[in-house]
């Protein structure tokens, strides 16, 4: 993305985070402008894949909070003008965009979302898109990345990664959100029973984590189980970011259930 200009596009939460990751991963330099509806533009100066900020921990936290606030917007206009490499006055420090995206996404995962992720990925061959694969941070990262060097199912990746289940799922959540998982397809043995079904119905069944031949009662039980885990009112002590994530997932699950009703 060096030297390029990203047109002014309205992006959803996931699309914005994926864009920020790509700018960081490609070590882009330039100016990223984010504008939420009814708000002033928020401008970030990027240098080699990092957002520059002033000296001190407070300046770093302020920049991170600005990124998180933008990521929480339901839609936002994003414009990137590439080629700018100079630091703005007083900006001596940097925040890695790719590193921030990973931390931001992995922090979203809790027990309920982990269960949903397992259901959505179960039986699906997963591998990495090399052009978007993150550099390993430690030995556990190296094992997880090596396990996905070729298409493997989740139950095959886990023993090769030799890492705690929650860490692996958080890593997969991050990779999927930024578009770094490749070759995601439904195996023949899993897709055979759904031939001739409406693709939207198949997608709804997958989201609820039920078999393609599930009856109405099984669908209802699956929805109630997920609703108890995801309904934000049943988790009053979570912070605002986590509450928004729960609201989004609950809305998706409810829409899937209503589509099957």
How confident is the model over 154-163, as pLDDT tens digits?
Answer: 888 888 998 8
- Mean of pLDDT values over 97-107: 93
**What is the pLDDT averaged over residues 95-111?**
91
Q: Which residue has the higher pLDDT, 128 or 218?
A: 128
Find the DSSP H helices in the chain: 13-25, 57-72, 97-106, 111-121, 139-147, 154-161, 165-177, 188-191, 199-208, 216-230, 240-260
Q: Is pLDDT at 197 greater than 60 in this prediction?
A: no
How much of the chain exceeds pLDDT 90, in percent? Answer: 23
How far is residue 147 CA from its own chain's centroid? 20
Residue 110 pLDDT: 84
Residue 183 pLDDT greater than 50, yes or no: yes
The per-residue pLDDT for 189 is 35
Q: Tell me 196's DSSP state.
A: T
Question: Which percentage of the chain shows pLDDT scores above 70?
Answer: 82
Which of 9-13, 52-56, 89-93, 224-228 bottoms out in mean pLDDT, i.e. has the lowest?
9-13
pLDDT over 60 (residue 1): no
Over residues 37-62, the mean pLDDT reads 88
Contacting residues for 130 by C-beta, under 8 A, at least 6 apart? none
Q: How would residue 8 be classed by pLDDT, with cut points 50, 70 and 90?
A: very low
CATH annotation of 187-261: 1.10.287
Mean pLDDT of the chain: 79
pLDDT tens digits along 207-235: 777 766 667 888 888 888 888 888 877 77
Contacts of 126 (CB under 8 A, 6+ apart): 148, 151, 152, 153, 154, 157, 172, 181, 183, 184
CA–CA separation, 46 vs 32, rounded Å?
Answer: 7
Instruction: Name the pLDDT band for 14 (thresholds 50, 70, 90).
Output: low
CB-CB neighbours of 40 under 10 Å: 7
Write out the residue limits of the CATH 1.10.287 domain(s) in the chain: 187-261
Q: Measure the CA–CA gap between 40 and 232, rounded to whole angstroms.
A: 30
């Amino acid at each position: 993305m060096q030297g390029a200009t990203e047109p002014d596009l309205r992006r959803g939460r996931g699309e914005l985070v994926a864009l920020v990751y790509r700018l960081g991963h490609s070590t882009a330099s330039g100016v990223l402008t984010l504008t939420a509806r009814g708000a002033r533009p928020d401008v970030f100066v990027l240098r080699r894949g990092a957002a520059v900020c002033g000296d001190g921990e407070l300046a770093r936290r302020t920049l991170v909070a600005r990124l998180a606030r933008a990521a929480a917007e339901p839609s936002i206009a994003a414009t990137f003008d590439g080629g700018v490499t100079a630091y703005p006055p007083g900006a001596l420090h940097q925040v890695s965009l790719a590193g921030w995206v990973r931390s931001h996404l992995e922090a979203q995962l809790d027990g309920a979302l982990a269960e949903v992720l397992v259901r959505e990925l179960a039986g699906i061959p997963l591998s990495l898109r090399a052009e978007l694969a993150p550099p390993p941070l430690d030995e556990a990262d190296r094992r997880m990345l090596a396990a996905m060097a070729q298409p493997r199912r989740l139950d095959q990746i886990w023993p090769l990664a030799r890492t705690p289940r929650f860490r692996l799922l958080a890593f997969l959540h991050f990779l999927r959100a930024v578009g770094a998982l490749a070759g995601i397809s439904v195996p023949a043995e899993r897709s055979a029973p759904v031939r001739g079904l409406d693709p939207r119905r198949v997608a709804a069944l997958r989201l609820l984590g039920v078999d393609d031949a599930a009856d109405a009662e099984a669908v209802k039980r699956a929805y109630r189980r997920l609703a108890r885990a995801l309904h934000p009112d049943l988790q009053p002590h979570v912070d605002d970011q986590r509450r928004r994530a729960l609201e989004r997932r609950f809305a998706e699950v409810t829409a899937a259930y209503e589509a099957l009703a």
